Structure 1
Amino acid sequence: MDSKQKKFLWISIGLSLAVLLVVIVCTFNENTITAIQQLNPYYLLLAFMIHMLAMTFWAVRIVVMCRSLGYKVPFFHSLNMVCAGQLVAAITPSQIGGEPVRIHELYKTNMPVADAMAVVVIERLMEAVLMVLGVIFSLGMFPVVYNNGEITDSLIIAAWCGTAFFTGLLIVLIAVMRKPPLIKKLSLKIGGLFMKKMNPVKVEKITEQINDGVDQFYNTFKLFAGKAKWGLLIGFILTFCLWACEYSVASIILVGLGYPPDILLSIVFQLIIAVIMMLPLTPGAAGIAELAYVGFYSLIIPSSVVGLFVILLRIILYYSNILIGFIASFLIVKREAANKKVISDDA
């Protein structure tokens, strides 16, 4: 991790801790102490295990999608790259920093960069489609599943802004992906920024590699629409399982605190919060996420408990990712330092 990444990491953690501190100071009273005393730690352990199960589904999704293309990626290598990506996602706006890590780690399994990029892009496209559909459903269902009071206009406005931003990105990405010449042009322009001082022979070679890579990238996309479509189908099912696990964590914590799980309403809350977190405002949406969770969950649990609830939720969904990401990243660095190769399942 370079100095810039460390800076973003500390900013992200600092913002998160600052907001959590303000929240707990504003909501702490004798009822908070009672809630802490009555907290069932086994539910916290269950919530963490479900979170790790989500990571497992993610790793299996990568293995299956790569297998459908003819590449055998080891499961534990896939799981490690998913965990390592969570550290980078925690310090990047919109949490998009994990993709380069996964592309790099897939490349280390002797998978061409173009194919690795295609797998990672399709992963994100599947999640984006599910997210957009889920958020539209959630915003439509919100008045039905919650009718016990008013929600602040700022949260609804933020939710719609996040939805518009996320949907816009999805539309632009799909539009661009449909035009291979445009992708080549953009890739060559970006590559040109790094080739200004190179000799013409080397520039020509790199240009040829870029064009070949883009062609391979689109050929892989065609495979997912053809003989590899079974990997796409299973990948979509695993994506649903992944998010079902992640969105159940909050309900498990609610039960651990002695409150009803409110499963449907909690899922609606989290889908709306997810698009708010997509707004590129802070590294890893730190601060934004905490405020959004407080704003929504204070509608169904007492203010004296909401701060504790958000702290527990962020420990599992955010701080544990940073810790696990550090461990996974260390294993990658250790492997690279020892110049070890990734041994595929068919080796």
Structure 2
Amino acid sequence: MKPEAGPQASSPGTISRTLDRVLRTALFLVPFGVLGNLALSWIATDHDVLRNLGALDRRYLYLAILLALFPWVTNTLRLLIWARFIGHRVSFRDMFRVTLGAELTSSVFPTSSGGEVFRWGMMVQKGIPQGHAASIVTLGYLEDMMFFLVAIPASVIISRAWELPVLRSLGGQMRGQALSVIAGIVAAVLLVWLLSRMLMAGRLGDGLRRRGLRWAAKFKRRMRKTMHDFRGVYRLVVRRGKSRFALTVLITAVQWACRYSVVTALAFFLGARVDPVLFFLLQWVIFTLMIFIPTPGASGGAEAAFYLVYGALMPAGLIGIATAGWRMLTFYLSLALGSIIFLIFNIADARTRRLRRQAISEGG
């Protein structure tokens, strides 16, 4: 499929300003998060364990670090496969930067906001039309859904998770939270609908009504183009992309297996022998709970959820350092390292643009 030029809904300035804010927030969050994790380790961990950390098998720690960072690669490959399949000449570096940007924004904004909007916007910045970018994001959702529809029931059956009292309690809490979230979404949608009706009827002033009509017409034009591209991509996937979809689902399985196995490798490093399948399932529970935590990156709530869920499954003397280590590996390490890499990319791109302008001016 030949790529078509599409309207740029997300201006480069808007995305750049947002990512600059993300980097500044990351620089603020990381030191405080690290100090908080060190304090938690000191207070809630048996000090004999802390003194003997140097004697533990570090191979499991290195494995935990690899498992925490490898999802960057798999996520990038998923984006790259579909972008190239549609016909866009993008590099691994381009898609890696998109992956990092989405991961960083998810880390410093509430988890429920997700990074998909920024992933979409950054792909549009790379010259991918809006409909194609939306299709790639949606294909990612489908890949995740296909994996979890198989992995979660299988994990429940293999680990006999229904026997855990903590999961029964969390299930009831999640149902209550879900109802509150759904009610809030419905209320917000109704409020937006009511305000738009008032705006178009002129009840908020003629000036606002004219601007609203212009915005609505512009939005409809863009949506027609986006939906045209969107349908074209899915027709192409159905005709010629089935094998690629199978490949990306396999890569998705590797990605989530890595991310949800960090805690198992960390537990083995600390000397606790655990059930990897059960711990995989409980990671899914915790990351689902984090969606309902309104703090940036679910800070505070994620640690509390981990402590609550794993407290009954790990030795009391280890749960403090396990909580701090898990959060360090799955959040603060990727946030700090991702911010540094993204900053290096920005500096390199700025230098390239400066050299290009200098060459143009000298040539002119």
Say whether 1:156 aligns with 2:171: yes
Question: Normalising by the residue count of structure 2, what TM-score does the alignment of the two structures yield?
Answer: 0.72
Other-structure match for 1:241: 254
List runs of 5+ in structure 2 lacking aligned partners.
1-16, 187-192, 201-207, 355-364
Cα distance in 1 for residues equivalent to 2:22 and 2:275? 38
Q: Deviations over 1:99-146 (max 9, x none)?
A: 23322332344321210121012212322443455445555666x258
Other-structure match for 2:266: 253
Other-structure match for 1:117: 134
Shift of 1:151: 2.7
Cα distance in 2 for residues equivalent to 1:139 and 1:11? 39
Say whether 1:313 aligns with 2:330: no
Say whether 1:293 aligns with 2:306: yes
Query: Which secondary structure state, in structure 1, belongs to the residue aligned with residue 318 of structure 2?
Result: helix
Other-structure match for 2:337: 324
Identity of matched residues, %: 19
Q: Deviations over 1:146-177 (max 9, x none)?
A: 85x743764333355578899x89xx9xxxxx
Cα distance in 2 for residues equivalent to 1:133 and 1:161? 25
Query: Which secondary structure state, in structure 2, belongs to the residue aligned with residue 302 of structure 1?
Result: coil
Cα distance in 2 for residues equivalent to 1:266 and 1:91? 26
Other-structure match for 1:89: 106
Say whether 1:45 aligns with 2:75: no
Q: Could you tell which deviates more after superposition, 308-317 or 202-211?
A: 202-211
**Cα distance, 1:227–1:120 mapped onto 2, change above 3 Å:** same
The structure, 1 or 2, with the larger RCO (C-alpha pairs under 8 Å, 6+ apart) is: 1
Cα distance in 2 for residues equivalent to 1:239 and 1:281? 27
Shift of 1:5: 5.3
**Cα distance, 1:234–1:162 mapped onto 2, change above 3 Å:** farther
Shift of 1:289: 1.4
Shift of 1:196: 6.4
Question: Normalising by the residue count of structure 1, what TM-score does the alignment of the two structures yield?
Answer: 0.75
**Cα distance, 1:165–1:340 mapped onto 2, change above 3 Å:** farther
Whether the aligned pair in 2 keeps the contact of 1:84 and 1:324 (CA below 8 Å) is: no
Cα distance in 2 for residues equivalent to 1:224 and 1:11? 43
> Which residue identity is paired with 2:106?
A
Cα distance in 2 for residues equivalent to 1:152 and 1:247? 17
Query: Which secondary structure state, in structure 2, belongs to the residue aligned with residue 226 of structure 1?
Result: helix
Whether the aligned pair in 2 keeps the contact of 1:146 and 1:265 (CA below 8 Å) is: no
**Cα distance, 1:255–1:110 mapped onto 2, change above 3 Å:** same
Question: How many positions carry a matched residue from both structures?
Answer: 318
Whether the aligned pair in 2 keeps the contact of 1:85 and 1:325 (CA below 8 Å) is: no
Query: Which secondary structure state, in structure 2, belongs to the residue aligned with residue 260 of structure 1?
Result: coil
Cα distance in 2 for residues equivalent to 1:335 and 1:159? 45
Query: Which secondary structure state, in structure 2, belongs to the residue aligned with residue 303 of structure 1?
Result: coil
Q: Deviations over 1:169-194 (max 9, x none)?
A: 9xx9xxxxxxxxxxxx9xx99xx9xx
> Which residue identity is paired with 1:77?
D
Whether the aligned pair in 2 keeps the contact of 1:8 and 1:91 (CA below 8 Å) is: yes
> Which residue identity is paired with 1:292?
A
Other-structure match for 1:175: none
Say whether 1:225 aligns with 2:258: no
Cα distance in 1 for residues equivalent to 2:46 and 2:83? 52
Query: Which secondary structure state, in structure 1, belongs to the residue aligned with residue 272 of structure 2?
Result: coil
Q: Could you tell which deviates more after superposition, 203-212 or 322-331?
A: 203-212
> Which residue identity is paired with 2:271?
G
Shift of 1:23: 4.7
Other-structure match for 1:29: 46
Q: Deviations over 1:202-247 (max 9, x none)?
A: 9756642332122222322332233233332221111111001112
Cα distance in 1 for residues equivalent to 2:162 and 2:57? 27
Cα distance in 2 for residues equivalent to 1:154 and 1:90? 27
Aligned mate of 1:77, from 87, 94, 106: 94
Other-structure match for 1:262: 275
Whether the aligned pair in 2 keeps the contact of 1:162 and 1:276 (CA below 8 Å) is: no
**Cα distance, 1:34–1:163 mapped onto 2, change above 3 Å:** farther
Query: Which secondary structure state, in structure 2, belongs to the residue aligned with residue 285 of structure 1?
Result: coil
Query: Which secondary structure state, in structure 2, belongs to the residue aligned with residue 284 of structure 1?
Result: coil
Moved over 6 A (4+): 10-15, 162-166, 199-203
> Which residue identity is paired with 1:278?
I
Q: Deviations over 1:1-23 (max 9, x none)?
A: 55975897689769967975775
**Cα distance, 1:95–1:326 mapped onto 2, change above 3 Å:** farther
User: Alpha carbon RMSD of aligned pairs, Å?
Assistant: 3.9
Query: Which secondary structure state, in structure 2, belongs to the residue aligned with residue 71 of structure 1?
Result: coil
Query: Which secondary structure state, in structure 2, belongs to the residue aligned with residue 46 of structure 1?
Result: helix
Cα distance in 2 for residues equivalent to 1:139 and 1:7? 41
Q: Could you tell which deviates more after superposition, 149-158 or 319-328?
A: 149-158
Whether the aligned pair in 1 keeps the contact of 2:266 and 2:325 (CA below 8 Å) is: yes
Whether the aligned pair in 1 keeps the contact of 2:64 and 2:265 (CA below 8 Å) is: yes
List runs of 5+ in structure 1 lacking aligned partners.
173-184, 342-347
